[in-house]
Amino acid sequence: VQLQASGGGLVQAGGSLRLSCAASVRTFTAYTWGWIRQAPGKEREFVAAIRWSDRSTYYTDSVKGRFTISRDYAENLVYLQMNSLKPEDTAVYYCAATRRRLITSALALEREYDYWGQGTLVTVSS
């Protein structure tokens, strides 16, 4: 199973983008989904996560109030709505998933995610 992230692009500061993540196998189910980003010259950084069953969501502090992670049961998609974008949000955004229910403290750990997408580039101009 592979994940496919899409929706990236070039946007001005203050603008919005919505990223989507789909599984290559439509019937694929995972308990926890996440978005992780990597800015140029920096290490990967956790952005947001959602648990499929109870819709509980988690965000890194820098995106709280601006980004929203959500899921579409019918289409088996996960979204990342990004509003009020800032130049420092520029990065390649990866979606990731695991069939395991991660405890809260593990959500931000890359190694806990078993399935990854190829990434989609988001560029925010000032």
Token readout for 37 is: 């980003």
62-87: pLDDT as tens digits: 999 999 999 988 888 999 999 999 99
26 neighbors 76 (Cβ within 8 angstroms):
yes
| Banded pLDDT at 9 (limits 50, 70, 90) | very high
Contact indicator for 4, 116 with CB cutoff of 8 Å: no
> Residue 27: pLDDT band by 50, 70, 90 thresholds?
confident
CB 110 within 8 A of CB 44: yes
Instruction: Please give the Cα distance from 83 to 71 (Å, whole number).
Output: 17
Give the integer Cα–Cα distance in Å for 40 and 75.
Answer: 32
Q: Single out the residue of 95, 80, 82 nearest to residue 38, CA to CA.
A: 95
Look up residue 125 and give its amino acid: S
